C-alpha cells in the first residue's frame, strides 16, 4: 500500500476546510453496508493539532474514513477483527495528516489522508501545532538563497509553496522554518524566523500569490539556527514527508525560538553570519577568508577548478569603494520604452547577475519567444538553461510567483498530471501540485500581466503524452483554450467557480522548456519539434569569468504585457523568394535520400515569423537568423542511422564534410555563411562515423 490515500466515495455534499490537521488512527473499526451485497468498514482518526472553526465537536467523535478509500477496496475482509488488524498494520503506528471536512453539514469526515512518519515520543506528546516549513534539504527554498527568502519577509513579498491546502488562516503562525544551505555550521540547514518580541505573526497568512508573514506593528523580525544535533528537540518534532509543515508539541515551540537575534536591516543573513556571497555564481556563497590568508598573486585559468573561489572575493572587495554610487538607480533601470531599450536591459541584467551568455543567444532566445509559443533550451547540464529563463523574467520585471518552474517527473503520463482532474465521486476539481492550472487561470484573469512558465527537464517524461493538449492548442493564433474538464460538469463541481472548465491561454503567457540529452531522457518526436524553437546555448570559456564584474542585485520595473506584445510582428509570410528556394532545396535533398524528415508549411511559416521578428539595429543580422532557424527547426529532425543519412551528411576519406544538405547550403551561400548549421552537420557526421547513428 502506498502513502497517499483518498477520501470516502460516499461524501456527496462535502465541505472541505482549509489547511491540514495531524492525527492518529483510533484502534477500532465499524462495519458498513453502502449498498446491498457490499461490505465496507469505517475507521476513525483523532485530531492532534488545532481544528478550523466549526469543527470543535469533532474532538469528541473523531473524523470518519472508509477503508475502501485507503487502498483496501470493498469486501476485502470477512470480519471487523480482520479489518482492524490490517488497519493497525498499515496506519496504526504512525501519524497521518488529512483535510477536515463536513458531510451534509452533519458528519465530520476526512479527505486526502496521507501517511506520515513517527517520533519516539508520539505516544506521550500532545497539543501539536503546525509550523510552515519552506523547502527541503534536497530542494531548499529559493535554491538555498536565504538572503532572498529573508528579503521577501522584510519587504512583504509572498513566499510560494504554502497555500490554503496546507494552512488555515484561523491559525496564527508562531514561526516559520526555511531550508537553506549549510555553510560549515555557520548557517542552516534550517533557519527559523519569528517575531522577536511577539508570540506569533499577524493572523492573515495566505493571500493573493502565496503566503505573507507580517510582524505586528512592523516590529522587529528575529532569526536563529535550528540545531539538528539537538536530538532531544527533534525527537519530538514530526516533519511531514510531502507537506510544507512541521508539527511541534506546543511545549517545545519555545525551544525553536531560543537564541533568536534581530534580522539585519539590509536582510543580509549571510554577512551577519560571516559568509559572503560569491558575485560570480548565482547560488553558491563562499566564506570570507581571514586577511592574512588572501593571496595577492593573480590567478590563472588553472585556478578555476574550485570555481574561482578566492578570486571572486578579492575582485568583489576591490570593486566596492566608498565613492561607489547606489547599485540600483533610476538612471540605470529605466522603464523600457521600446524593444531596443528592453534588449539593453536584458544584456545589463545578464552582466549584473554574473552570467556568461553570448549576445547571439540572448537575442535568439528573445526572438524565439516572440515568434513561437514554445521555446526549448537544450544542452548539457550546467550551461545555464534554467538561469536564462530566470534572467529573462528578471529583465521583464516579473515577480517570482509569475515565473513558474515545473520540474517534470518521469511518472507523468497525461495532462492530468500537470493540470489536475475531476474527482467525480466527490464532485470536486483536484488541481495538480504543479500549480499550472492556477497560473493559467490567473493569467487569463490578468491579461495585462506577463507570465513565464518553464517545463524544467521536460524530456524526463514523454512530452507527447503529458504535453499533448498544449501541442495542439498552442499553435492556434486565435483563441487558444486549455480544457481542464468537460464543460458539461460546469456548475456541478463545488469548486467550479475557482476552476472553470476551459481557460484561454493568451499571448501574455510565455512557454519555455529545458532539456538535457543523456541516457535518462526521451528524445522529442516531430510533434514537438514542429512547434518549438530548440536552442542549444553556446558554452562560454571559463577564462571569461575573469572579465566579469561584481554581481549586483537589481530590481527592474515590471513590463506590461501590451508593451511586450507590441514587439511582435505577426503579418506576412516573412520569407523571400530565395529563402523559399532554400527550403525547397533542403526538402528535395530529404526526399531524394529517403529520410523520414522534411520542412512542412507550419515550420516554414514559423521560420518566416522568426525572421520578421528580428529587432532592427540589435546586432543580429538576418543571415544569422536564417542560419539559426535551419539549426533549430530543420537539423533537429535529422536523426537516424548512417544507412538512412549517409547521402545527406558524411565525411570523405580526408575527413572533409560532404553530403546533399551541405551542397544546398553552398548553393545559397549568398543568404548566409551557415556557420552554425555547418558545425551541427559536422558533429552529426562525426556521430554517424563513430556510432553509425545520430540523434
Per the domain annotation, does 443 fall within a domain? yes
Per the domain annotation, does 334 fall within a domain? no
Residues 395 and 490 in one domain: yes
Is the pLDDT at 276 greater than 80, yes or no?
no
Per the domain annotation, does 132 fall within a domain? yes
pLDDT at 550: 60
Contact 688, 661 (CB under 8 A): no
Per the domain annotation, does 234 fall within a domain? yes
The span from the CA of 639 to the CA of 52, in Å, is 58
pLDDT tens for 539-558 read: 766 656 656 656 677 788 88
**Local confidence band at 320 (pLDDT 50, 70, 90 cut-offs):** very low
Give CA torsion, residues 300, 301, 302, 305, to 10 deg. Answer: 120
Domain final residue pick, 499, 515, 547: 547
pLDDT at 551: 65
**Local confidence band at 163 (pLDDT 50, 70, 90 cut-offs):** confident
Domain final residue pick, 115, 138, 166: 115
Nearest Cα neighbor of 228 from 192, 272, 267 is 192
pLDDT at 508: 92
pLDDT tens for 567-592 read: 888 766 788 899 999 999 998 988 88
Grid coordinates in use for 169?
488562516
Per the domain annotation, does 89 fall within a domain? yes
Q: How many CA atoms lie within 13 A of 100 on its CB side?
A: 30
Task: Kindly state the average pLDDT of the residues 115-130.
Answer: 92
Residues 84 and 149 in one domain: no
Contact 635, 659 (CB under 8 A): no
Grid coordinates in use for 447?
491579461
Nearest Cα neighbor of 256 from 425, 129, 403, 85 is 129
pLDDT at 542: 63
Is the pLDDT at 287 greater than 90, yes or no?
no
Q: Residue 484's domain is classified under what CATH number?
A: 3.40.50.300
Sign of CA dihedral 262, 265, 266, 271: negative
The span from the CA of 109 to the CA of 40, in Å, is 16
Burial of 514 (0-12, 13-18, 19+ CB in 10 A): buried
Residues 104 and 133 in one domain: no
Domain final residue pick, 238, 271, 304: 271
Residues 348 and 462 in one domain: yes
Nearest Cα neighbor of 183 from 309, 52, 61 is 309
The 8-class DSSP code of residue 658 comes to E
pLDDT at 411: 84
Domain of 592 in residue numbering reads as 569-694
Size of the chain in residues: 695
Q: How far apart are the first and last CA of the chain?
A: 40
pLDDT at 4: 43
Per the domain annotation, does 336 fall within a domain? no
Residues 687 and 596 in one domain: yes
Residues 538 and 585 in one domain: no
Residues 356 and 312 in one domain: no
Per the domain annotation, does 362 fall within a domain? yes
Bigger pLDDT: 70 or 84? 84
Bigger pLDDT: 59 or 459? 459
pLDDT tens for 396-440 read: 999 988 999 999 988 888 888 999 999 888 889 999 989 999 999
Mean pLDDT taken over the chain:
82
The percent of residues in the chain predicted with pLDDT above 90, rounded, is: 33
Is the pLDDT at 146 greater than 60, yes or no?
yes
Is the pLDDT at 502 greater than 50, yes or no?
yes
pLDDT tens for 168-210 read: 988 999 999 999 877 656 777 899 999 999 999 987 788 766 7
Is the pLDDT at 307 greater than 50, yes or no?
no
Backbone angles phi, psi at 215, to 5 degrees: -85, 135
pTM, to two decimals:
0.54
Per the domain annotation, does 508 fall within a domain? yes
Burial of 291 (0-12, 13-18, 19+ CB in 10 A): exposed
Number of domains comprising the chain: 5
pLDDT tens for 640-657 read: 788 778 888 888 877 788
Residues 524 and 406 in one domain: yes
**Local confidence band at 103 (pLDDT 50, 70, 90 cut-offs):** confident
pLDDT at 277: 58
pLDDT tens for 587-600 read: 898 888 777 677 88
Q: Which residues contact 589 (CB under 8 A, 6 or more apart)?
A: 648, 660, 661, 663, 664
Of the listed ranges 104-118, 179-193, 345-359, 578-592, the least confidently predicted one is 179-193
Helix 359-371 to helix 385-395 angle, to the nearest 10 degrees?
Answer: 70
Residues 360 and 407 in one domain: yes
Residues 522 and 426 in one domain: yes
Amino acid at each position: 500500500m502506498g502513502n497517499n490515500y483518498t477520501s470516502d466515495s460516499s461524501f456527496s455534499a462535502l465541505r472541505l476546510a482549509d489547511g491540514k490537521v495531524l492525527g492518529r488512527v483510533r484502534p477500532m473499526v465499524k462495519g458498513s453496508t453502502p449498498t446491498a451485497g457490499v461490505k465496507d468498514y469505517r475507521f476513525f482518526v483523532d485530531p492532534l493539532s488545532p481544528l478550523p472553526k466549526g469543527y470543535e465537536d469533532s474532538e469528541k467523535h473523531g473524523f470518519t474514513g472508509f477503508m475502501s478509500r485507503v487502498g483496501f477496496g470493498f469486501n476485502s475482509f470477512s470480519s471487523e477483527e480482520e479489518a482492524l488488524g490490517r488497519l493497525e498494520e498499515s496506519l496504526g503506528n504512525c501519524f497521518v495528516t488529512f483535510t477536515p471536512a463536513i458531510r451534509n453539514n452533519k458528519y465530520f469526515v476526512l479527505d486526502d489522508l496521507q501517511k506520515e512518519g513517527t517520533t519516539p515520543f508520539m505516544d506521550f506528546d500532545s497539543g501539536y501545532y503546525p509550523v510552515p516549513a519552506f523547502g527541503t534539504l534536497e530542494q531548499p527554498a529559493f535554491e538555498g538563497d536565504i538572503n532572498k527568502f529573508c528579503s521577501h519577509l522584510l519587504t512583504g513579498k509572498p513566499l510560494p509553496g504554502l497555500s490554503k491546502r496546507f494552512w488555515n488562516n484561523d491559525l496564527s503562525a508562531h514561526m516559520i522554518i526555511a531550508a537553506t544551505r549549510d555553510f560549515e555550521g555557520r548557517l542552516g540547514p534550517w533557519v527559523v524566523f519569528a517575531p522577536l518580541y511577539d508570540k506569533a505573526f499577524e493572523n492573515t497568512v495566505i493571500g493573493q500569490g502565496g503566503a505573507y508573514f507580517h510582524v505586528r506593528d512592523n516590529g522587529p523580525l528575529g532569526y536563529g539556527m535550528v540545531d539538528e544535533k539537538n536530538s532531544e528537540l527533534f525527537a519530538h518534532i514530526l516533519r511531514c514527508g510531502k507537506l510544507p509543515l512541521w508539527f511541534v508539541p506546543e511545549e517545545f515551540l519555545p525551544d525553536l525560538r531560543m537564541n533568536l537575534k534581530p534580522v539585519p536591516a539590509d536582510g543580509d543573513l549571510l554577512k551577519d553570519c560571516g559568509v559572503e556571497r560569491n558575485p560570480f555564481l548565482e547560488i553558491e556563497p563562499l566564506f570570507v577568508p581571514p586577511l592574512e590568508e588572501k593571496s595577492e598573486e593573480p590567478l590563472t585559468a588553472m585556478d578555476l577548478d574550485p570555481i574561482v573561489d578566492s578570486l571572486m572575493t578579492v575582485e568583489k572587495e576591490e570593486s566596492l569603494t566608498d565613492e561607489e554610487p547606489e547599485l540600483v538607480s533610476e538612471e540605470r533601470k529605466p522603464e523600457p520604452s521600446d524593444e531596443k531599450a528592453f534588449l539593453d536591459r536584458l544584456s545589463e541584467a545578464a552582466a549584473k547577475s554574473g552570467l556568461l551568455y553570448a549576445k547571439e543567444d540572448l537575442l535568439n532566445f528573445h526572438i524565439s519567444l516572440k515568434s513561437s509559443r514554445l521555446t526549448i533550451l537544450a544542452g548539457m547540464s550546467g550551461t545555464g538553461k534554467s538561469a536564462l529563463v530566470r534572467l529573462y523574467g528578471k529583465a521583464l520585471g516579473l515577480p517570482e510567483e509569475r515565473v513558474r518552474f515545473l520540474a517534470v517527473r518521469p511518472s507523468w503520463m497525461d495532462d492530468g498530471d500537470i493540470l489536475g482532474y475531476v474527482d467525480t465521486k466527490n464532485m470536486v476539481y483536484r488541481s495538480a501540485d504543479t500549480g499550472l492550472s492556477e497560473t493559467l487561470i490567473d493569467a487569463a484573469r490578468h491579461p495585462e500581466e506577463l507570465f513565464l512558465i518553464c517545463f524544467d527537464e521536460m524530456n524526463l517524461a514523454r512530452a507527447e503524452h503529458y504535453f499533448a493538449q498544449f501541442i495542439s492548442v498552442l499553435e492556434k493564433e486565435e483563441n487558444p483554450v486549455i480544457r481542464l474538464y468537460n464543460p458539461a460538469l460546469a456548475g456541478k463541481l463545488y469548486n467550479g467557480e475557482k476552476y472553470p472548465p476551459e481557460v484561454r491561454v493568451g499571448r501574455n503567457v510565455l512557454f519555455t522548456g529545458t532539456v538535457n540529452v543523456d541516457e535518462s531522457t526521451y528524445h522529442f518526436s516531430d510533434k514537438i519539434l514542429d512547434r518549438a524553437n530548440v536552442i542549444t546555448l553556446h558554452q562560454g570559456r571559463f577564462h571569461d569569468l575573469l572579465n566579469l564584474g561584481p554581481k549586483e542585485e537589481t530590481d527592474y520595473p515590471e513590463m506590461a504585457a501590451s508593451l511586450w506584445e507590441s514587439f511582435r510582428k505577426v503579418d506576412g509570410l516573412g520569407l523571400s523568394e530565395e529563402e523559399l528556394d532554400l527550403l525547397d532545396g533542403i526538402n528535395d535533398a530529404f526526399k531524394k535520400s529517403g529520410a523520414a524528415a522534411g520542412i512542412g508549411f507550419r515550420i516554414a511559416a514559423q521560420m518566416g515569423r522568426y525572421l520578421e521578428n528580428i529587432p532592427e539595429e540589435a546586432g543580429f543580422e538576418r543571415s544569422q537568423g536564417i542560419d539559426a532557424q535551419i539549426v533549430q527547426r530543420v537539423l533537429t529532425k535529422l536523426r537516424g542511422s548512417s544507412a538512412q543519412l549517409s547521402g545527406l551528411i558524411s565525411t570523405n576519406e580526408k575527413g572533409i564534410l560532404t553530403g546533399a544538405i551541405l551542397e544546398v547550403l553552398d548553393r545559397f551561400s549568398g543568404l548566409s555563411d551557415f556557420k552554425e548549421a555547418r558545425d551541427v552537420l559536422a558533429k552529426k557526421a562525426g556521430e554517424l562515423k563513430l556510432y553509425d547513428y545520430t540523434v
